[in-house]
Chains A and B, each alone.
Chain A
Amino acid sequence: MSPSPIRTVLIVGGGTAGWMTAAALSKTLPATTAITLVESEQIGTVGVGEATIPPISTFNEILGIDEAEFMLATKASFKLAIEFVDWMGPGHRYLHPFGAYGLDIEALKFHQVWLRAHHEGWAPPIDAFNLSAQASHLGRFALPSKDPGQVMSSLKYAFHFDAGLYAKFLRGQAEKRGVIRVEGKVASVQQHGETGFVTGVTLDDGRTLEADLFVDCSGFRGLLIEQTLKAGFEDWSHWLPNDRAVAMPCVTGGDGLTPYTRATADTAGWRWRIPLQHRTGNGYVYSSKHISDDEAVARLRATLDGEALAEPNFLRFQAGRRKDAWVKNVVAIGLSSGFLEPLESTSIHLIQAGITKLLALFPDRGFDPVEIAEYNRLTALQVELIRDFIILHFHANGRDEPYWKAAREMAIPETLRRKMDLFAASGRLFGSDYDLFADANWIAVLLGQGIMPRRHDPLADALPADMLKAQLTRLSTIIGQTAQALPTHEAFIARYCAAPEFAK
């Protein structure tokens, strides 16, 4: 019933998106499908997204990747949380940890119980009920337990890694499975005279590469999806005005190899700190309307916690999404499909989500518009939910500078407004099945950004106070002790996945 299967796939562009796509397609498509990737060593890759979120492990598992081998190859460290510093004003900090807070009591959500305790004035910080947060505070790590009865099963983690090395690692896998890599720059694109479908690309040396399906991993410019097929771009810069970043790695100093990413609010944007085994990645994401490139790089240099290891690398972008990520026989994956700043480490996840959807809706040569429409519906839905989550961080800030004042005063998407209002009233949340971020993620950032519900669920008042106090004390004690018993992050990496450059 599938008379016209896709015979050939051409991935245009390497980098993280290109090689993740190549590795996944070569693992999952029938062996008869020929996959080619064209990339040019002259075109740099962005590779800013060095921090990830937990679903990356699912992707690696599907690819049959051994975790320790992958971590060694990419000089990776573990990530349990993001620490947000100064977002509510100088000196303020909070963690957005992976995993849930506490345990729900029957139908009652744990955070409602915590809110009651908070309103009664005796609640410990909510972090005390999240193992990933406690391990972050202590700089400790070990792999979680698979037994859901164990407290250690509640530890959730992702990675910090060198995205360039990850692409290289995946390239090795993909090439082993028959993906052909072509070195070259695309000079022109050929389209079918009537249908407008892309038929092939011609390289600057004159070679032509043809395919049934094209995956556009060419980055911001969207060589096929935008320059050729004019998919259009939905601009979100009125909500997310940051349009530049400057990145600069340094020798790891300061707090050392933290098992968490740090995102520090600054005059006109925010700075990331991502510790790897051999260095720390740093960057400043900012709005060029509010500060100059020189000011940004000076600020970044001044805040490095070790000696700089490279010259500053500047990036330009615009927040928004491609109106259609899939047009005709071209699917845009990665930056070609849109851009959201990596505040919640979603760049690599969005690549993964694109690949997952492409596999779930993998076409035949008929390219049924019904399926393309579904891909585009899902993409829009997912990325808008992530967009709302990111806007929340900026909108609910507590800083004084004009940039931050404007973010506080801007009109936000109705979907986010509704969510914030409901939480502010009584701490309630009703997530969509399509939302990457679960209730616990929203709770961490809503509370962290100062949105404290005025009331809690009245049903939380049904529990006797003494019992509740005893229960919360027991829970936080167990979580605290479990975290204390873990090895340090450094010690764990040293025995699990240390690259030669790992000095500790």
Chain B
Amino acid sequence: MKILIVGTGVDAWLTAAVLAGAAGRAARIAVRETAPPAHGQLVGLPALLGLHARLGIEVGAPLLGLRHGDMLEPFGDTGAMMEGLPFHHYWLRAKAHGETAPLEAWSLTARAAAKGRFAPRSADPRSPLSTLDHGLLLDAAAYAETLKAVALKAGAELVDHRPDADLVVDASGEPGDWIDWSAWLPTGARLTGVEDRIATFAHDAPLKAGRRARAVEGDVVAVGGALASIGAADGGDLHLLQTTVSRLAALLPTGPAAVAEFNRLTAMAVERARDMAILRWGVLDAPPEELAWKIGQFESRGRVVMYDEETWPEGSWVHALLARGVTPKRWDPLVERAPLAQTREMLGRMKAVLEQTAEAMPRG
């Protein structure tokens, strides 16, 4: 099987690195580089670390969270499930009875960021350090170069013509036949700085939001900026690229059934990431149906609906919903099995342990 990737930068070289690594001798991967990689900084979500481990690369600087406006969204876990119920229900109850600390006071990642500390996530589930997680701040051009080296080493070829191929990947970053989402997303996010390993964003980047009607058209499959544009410089864009490419490696959509499935799953994934972009900085007057449902469910009782093909984990949704002012009318009634005093004491104890743990982490 022959696959030709046409495009530039991280879109092209992440695709090439993943496909060449997975295919070995089974497929020939050619890359036609159309332009030098763009400069700038990229944000990667924690899930990118798993891909880097498979590719055998260590790049970028750790990031502990995101700041949209005044609100901090730490990576990693916030609090812990208790009696099978998500932590934020206990916090909501305590808050209604006078608790003043914000939710992120129970995030070790956030506390470590505030104290200028850092440690990698622990694999031992009993350690508070297992609740840590971090994303990455990447230099776009250097990252593309690293991925290019990985891809070429794994057997991808650089070409300057357009050889025959069974599948062509459009990694040009150029929009195609766009479904227009600009009413929901008139602008995109823009990285304005990084402080204490927290990336801060403004929401004034010019954007022509939308997605291609079909990710695969004929023998051409679009990835990255050529597939969709939601202005998610906060890690959403790069994560969508990552999941699209893994889906591409898993499906190699050449027959009609595989093409249909690729298009269906990719549209879902893009739309779920879009929903988060709208929630964070978009227009919420008449949100897409799935997002409206999600907001309604959270407003009613703090429940987070997770659909198939989500980009952001449940914890990110909790922070983002609260940040946008979506406040649950009540918490899960099952938290009331525990007496209020006991819940308060438990929250106090957890907070103290996290504070001490963060204090004991190495500086740097």
A466 touches B (CB below 8 Å)? no
If A107-B249, A433-B306 touch, whether A1 touches B331 (CB-CB below 8 Å) is yes
A384 touches B (CB below 8 Å)? no
Chain A residues with CB under 8 A of B134: none
A374 touches B (CB below 8 Å)? yes
B300 touches A (CB below 8 Å)? yes
Chain B: minimal CB distance from A140 (Å): 32
Chain A residues with CB under 8 A of B299: 370
Residues facing B in A132-146 (CB within 8 A) are none
Q: List 7 A-B contacts (CB under 8 A).
A: A1-B331, A6-B333, A62-B84, A359-B334, A370-B297, A428-B261, A461-B25
Q: Among the listed B249, B330, B337, which residue makes an inter-chain contact with A30, where contact means beta carbons less than 8 Å apart?
A: B337
If A30-B336, A459-B22, A462-B23 touch, whether A1 touches B93 (CB-CB below 8 Å) is yes
Chain A residues with CB under 8 A of B54: 106-107
Give the interface segment out of A11-19, A268-276, A417-425.
Answer: A417-425
If A370-B300, A425-B258 touch, whether A29 touches B334 (CB-CB below 8 Å) is yes
On whether the beta carbons of A425 and B23 are closer than 8 Å, the reply is no
A107 to B249 CA separation, bound complex (whole angstroms): 9
The secondary structure that dominates the B interface is helix
On whether the beta carbons of B255 and A361 are closer than 8 Å, the reply is no
Which residue of the partner chain B has the closest CB to A116? B26
B80 touches A (CB below 8 Å)? no
On whether the beta carbons of A2 and B336 are closer than 8 Å, the reply is yes
Chain A: minimal CB distance from B12 (Å): 20
A108 to B24 CA separation, bound complex (whole angstroms): 12
Chain A residues with CB under 8 A of B22: 106-108, 459, 462
Chain B residues with CB under 8 A of A62: 84
On whether the beta carbons of B255 and A425 are closer than 8 Å, the reply is yes
A138 to B256 CA separation, bound complex (whole angstroms): 42
Q: Mark B286-308, 1 if CB is under 8 A from A, else 0.
A: 00000001001101110101101
A210 touches B (CB below 8 Å)? no
Q: Mark B19-41, 1 if CB is under 8 A from A, else 0.
A: 00011111100000000000000
Which residue of the partner chain A has the closest CB to B83? A28
Contacts A363-B333, A425-B257, A425-B258 known; 12 new A-B pairs at CB < 8 A? A2-B331, A29-B337, A106-B22, A359-B334, A361-B303, A370-B297, A418-B257, A428-B261, A430-B261, A457-B252, A459-B22, A459-B24
B341 touches A (CB below 8 Å)? no
Which residue of the partner chain A has the closest CB to B298? A370
On whether the beta carbons of A371 and B261 are closer than 8 Å, the reply is no
Q: Among the listed B305, B330, B334, which residue makes an inter-chain contact with A1, where contact means beta carbons less than 8 Å apart?
A: B330
Which residue of the partner chain A has the closest CB to B338? A30
Residues of chain B touching chain A, judged by Cβ–Cβ distance below 8 Å, are 1, 22-27, 54, 84, 92-93, 96, 246, 249-252, 255-258, 260-261, 264-265, 293, 296-297, 299-301, 303, 305-306, 308, 329-334, 336-337
Chain A residues with CB under 8 A of B250: 107, 428, 457
Q: Mark A224-241, 1 if CB is under 8 A from B, else 0.
A: 000000000000000000
Q: Among the listed B26, B297, B336, B337, which residue makes an inter-chain contact with A461, where contact means beta carbons less than 8 Å apart?
A: B26
Chain B: minimal CB distance from A434 (Å): 7
Q: Among the listed B26, B297, B308, which residue makes an inter-chain contact with A433, where contact means beta carbons less than 8 Å apart?
A: B308
On whether the beta carbons of A364 and B330 are closer than 8 Å, the reply is yes
Residues of chain A touching chain B, judged by Cβ–Cβ distance below 8 Å, are 1-2, 5-6, 28-30, 62, 106-108, 359-364, 368, 370-371, 374, 418, 421-422, 424-426, 428, 430, 432-434, 457-463
On whether the beta carbons of B26 and A1 are closer than 8 Å, the reply is no
On whether the beta carbons of A428 and B336 are closer than 8 Å, the reply is no
If A29-B334, A433-B308, A458-B1 touch, whether A371 touches B301 (CB-CB below 8 Å) is yes
Chain A residues with CB under 8 A of B265: 430
Q: Among the listed B23, B93, B296, B333, which residue makes an inter-chain contact with A459, where contact means beta carbons less than 8 Å apart?
A: B23
Chain A residues with CB under 8 A of B264: 418
Chain A residues with CB under 8 A of B297: 370-371, 374
Which residue of the partner chain B has the closest CB to A368? B300
Chain B residues with CB under 8 A of A460: 26
Chain B: minimal CB distance from A108 (Å): 7
Which residue of the partner chain A has the closest CB to B252? A458
On whether the beta carbons of B300 and A362 are closer than 8 Å, the reply is no
Which residue of the partner chain B has the closest CB to A433? B308
The 10 closest A-B pairs by CB, nearest first: A462-B24, A462-B26, A421-B257, A461-B26, A370-B300, A422-B257, A1-B330, A425-B257, A458-B26, A425-B255
A342 to B257 CA separation, bound complex (whole angstroms): 30
Chain B: minimal CB distance from A42 (Å): 35
Chain A: minimal CB distance from B292 (Å): 11
Which residue of the partner chain B has the closest CB to A419? B261
On whether the beta carbons of B25 and A462 are closer than 8 Å, the reply is yes
If A461-B25, A462-B26 touch, whether A1 touches B255 (CB-CB below 8 Å) is no
Chain B residues with CB under 8 A of A28: 334, 337
On whether the beta carbons of B258 and A2 are closer than 8 Å, the reply is no
On whether the beta carbons of B301 and A426 are closer than 8 Å, the reply is no
Chain A: minimal CB distance from B94 (Å): 11
Interface centre among B26, B252, B303 (most CB of A within 10 A): B26
Chain B residues with CB under 8 A of A428: 250-251, 258, 261
Chain B: minimal CB distance from A432 (Å): 5
On whether the beta carbons of B249 and A1 are closer than 8 Å, the reply is no
If A428-B251, A432-B308 touch, whether A362 touches B26 (CB-CB below 8 Å) is no
A368 to B333 CA separation, bound complex (whole angstroms): 13
Chain B residues with CB under 8 A of A459: 22-24, 26-27, 249, 252
Which residue of the partner chain A has the closest CB to B247? A430
Chain A: minimal CB distance from B295 (Å): 10
Chain A residues with CB under 8 A of B337: 28-30
Chain A: minimal CB distance from B7 (Å): 22
Chain B: minimal CB distance from A386 (Å): 16
A460 to B249 CA separation, bound complex (whole angstroms): 11
A440 to B91 CA separation, bound complex (whole angstroms): 39
Chain B residues with CB under 8 A of A363: 333
Q: Among the listed A108, A362, A421, A463, which residue makes an inter-chain contact with B334, where contact means beta carbons less than 8 Å apart?
A: A362
Which residue of the partner chain A has the closest CB to B336? A30
Chain A: minimal CB distance from B333 (Å): 5
Chain A residues with CB under 8 A of B251: 428
On whether the beta carbons of B246 and A107 are closer than 8 Å, the reply is yes
Chain A: minimal CB distance from B235 (Å): 21
Q: Among the listed B24, B305, B334, which residue makes an inter-chain contact with A374, where contact means beta carbons less than 8 Å apart?
A: B305
Which residue of the partner chain A has the closest CB to B296? A370
If A29-B334, A107-B246, A430-B265 touch, whether A1 touches B96 (CB-CB below 8 Å) is yes
Chain A: minimal CB distance from B24 (Å): 3
A218 to B27 CA separation, bound complex (whole angstroms): 59
A119 to B174 CA separation, bound complex (whole angstroms): 40
A433 to B301 CA separation, bound complex (whole angstroms): 22
Which residue of the partner chain A has the closest CB to B18? A107
Which residue of the partner chain B has the closest CB to A424? B257
On whether the beta carbons of B258 and A426 are closer than 8 Å, the reply is yes
